[in-house]
Amino acid sequence: MKPGQESKGAAIDLESISKAYGGFKALDGVSLRIEPGEFMTLLGPSGSGKTTTLNVVAGFTDLTSGKLLVGGRNVVGVPAHKRNIGVVFQHYALFPHMSVGRNVAYPLTLRGVDQAERKARVARALDMVKMGDFAHRYPSELSGGQQQRVALARAIVFDPPLLLMDEPLGALDKKLREWLQLEIKRIHRELGTTFVYVTHDQEEALVLSDRIAVFNRGRIEQVGTGRELYDEPTTLFVGRFIGDSTVLRGEARSDGVSTALRIAGETVTAPRRIAGEASPVMLLRPEKLAIRRPGQDAAGTSNRLPGTIAEAIYLGSGSKYEVRLADGSMAIVRTPLTGDSFGLGDKVELCFDGADAKLLADDSSADATLT
């Protein structure tokens, strides 16, 4: 569903939230507005602060400074059990001494819901996750995927206006994960609740989210839809974290309207420039690059760089090549099956339109966090 006023979900406002452990800043001035009913994913490598953010919202972690509003109410200092927020954990966290039914009924019992209604709501929640037949089983008798679905039912049974999920599919295998992603999407649509989802898997983030907040080193690098992050990354980190990319680095010259990079004797140009002092790099998506045999006609592309095929991967729908450039760096190219095919060691030329190159400020720390 589209985020809107009629949504049952709560809005969340994070206002310059910081969390320090001793000298280490786990969160460094994070600000984010999540709309009611929105599916927001916090994406980033491990240690980037996404889980800390989730814990702060859930009330498991106190923040050092900043403001946190859930549904317009300031919740700083409110203990976790009074926040009325559903949480789904990566490790399921089902109570092993209770049956599935009692696990799901637990939050209702705490809220003093009478037995008849409790039964109906437990049944409804279990049906929603397609676990209706398992109420009498114990968690130890269920598979990982089943346990996580029960955990999801337990987190939504008390109708929280906000559901937090901390890498809920992280422990499951790929097939199951993909199927459960669609299930989660469906449940989000049916409930209309605000979902905040933490993951380090960018594909998962693209499948699920209305918007994605990319975390790095305790800060948010960029917030936007999947398409925005892929097509218009504002930082090198985001560009490299979302999707495949090729980064061209070289001696830069800028003349006010365009930027030229000199890479191992060749020059490539893009009709743009970046503000500030930082040295610019070019980021190219694999489908914006083409490869040709040397000397072949290259109409429509202004830039060419010589290279050697270092890896050729057949993908079914196309081919993916890794090309080693003259300066030793690697470029990733995806081509449709219709074109030429190349073998290992072939000398090629890498061509691209300067307008397709994203000019971004160089950030060597991106290498450190990504590898």
Tokens of 176: 């199951």
Q: Which of 170, 88, 162, 166 is nearest to 129 (CA)?
A: 88
Binder among 76, 93, 176, 207 for another protein (CB under 8 A) = 93
Q: Residue 216: exposed, middle, or buried by beta-carbon count in 10 A (0-12, 13-18, 19+)? A: buried
Please list, residue by residue across 349-368, b when 16 or more beta carbons sit within 10 angstroms of its beta carbon and e when fewer do. bbbbbbebbbbbeebeebee
Least CB distance to another protein at residue 180 (A): 19
Binding residue for another protein, selected from 96, 265, 294, 339, defined by CB under 8 A: 96
Site for another protein in 223-262 (CB under 8 A): none
| Residues within window 133-162 making contact with another protein, judged by CB under 8 A | 138-140, 154-155, 158
| Minimum distance from residue 82 beta carbon to another protein (Å) | 8
The structure tokens listed for 307 are 């290279």
Q: Which of 36, 59, 168, 218 binds another protein (CB under 8 A)?
A: 59
The CB-of-226 to another protein minimum distance in angstroms stands at 28
Q: Is residue 212 a contact partner of residue 229, using CB atoms and an 8 Å limit? A: yes
Residue 317 CA to residue 308 CA, distance in Å, equals: 23
Measured in whole angstroms, the distance separating CA 31 from the mean position of its chain's CA atoms is 17
User: Can you list the pairs that 2-8 forms with residues at least 24 positions away whose Cβ atoms lie under 8 Å?
Assistant: 2/37, 3/35, 3/36, 3/37, 3/38, 3/210, 4/36, 4/37, 5/36, 7/36, 7/37, 7/192, 7/194, 8/36, 8/37, 8/159, 8/161, 8/191, 8/192, 8/193
Q: What is the distance, to the nearest Å, from the Cα of residue 198 to the centroid of all Cα atoms in its chain?
A: 8
How many residues in the shown chain lie near another protein by CB under 8 A? Answer: 28
Least distance (Å) between residue 81 CB and another protein:
4
Q: Which of 97, 174, 175, 227 binds another protein (CB under 8 A)?
A: 97
Whole-angstrom distance, CA of residue 209 vs CA of residue 128: 20
Among 33, 111, 130, 186, binds another protein (CB under 8 A): 111
What's the min distance (Å) between Cβ of 47 and another protein? 19
* Closer by beta carbon to another protein, 54 or else 348: 54
The structure tokens listed for 124 are: 């409804």
SS3 of residue 184 by DSSP: helix
Residue number with CB closer to another protein (90 or 246): 90
Structure tokens at 209: 């989210």
Rule CB under 8 A: is residue 89 a binding residue for another protein? Answer: yes
Shortest spacing between CB 55 and another protein, in angstroms: 9
Judged by CB under 8 A, does residue 58 bind another protein? yes
Residue with Cβ nearer another protein (110 or 330) = 110
Among 86, 226, 286, 307, contact with another protein (rule: CB under 8 A): 86
**Is the Cβ–Cβ distance between 83 and 60 less than 8 Å?**
no
- 12-51 footprint of another protein as x/- string (CB under 8 A): ----------------------------------------
87 or 351: whose CB is closer to another protein?
A: 87
DSSP 135: T
Find the shortest distance in angstroms from Cβ 25 to another protein. 22
Which of 106, 228, 260, 369 forms a contact with another protein (CB under 8 A)? 106
Counting beta carbons within 10 angstroms of the beta carbon of residue 255, is it exposed (0 to 12), middle (13 to 18) or buried (19 or more)? exposed
Residues 108/109/115/121 CA torsion (nearest 10 deg): 20
Query: 83 or 324, CB closer to another protein?
Result: 83
Binding residue for another protein (CB under 8 A) from 26, 85, 270, 360?
85
Give me the amino acid identity at 40.
M
Least CB distance from residue 83 to another protein, whole Å? 8
106/324 with CB nearer another protein: 106
Residues that bind another protein (CB under 8 A): 58-60, 79-87, 89, 91, 93, 95-97, 106-107, 110-111, 138-140, 154-155, 158
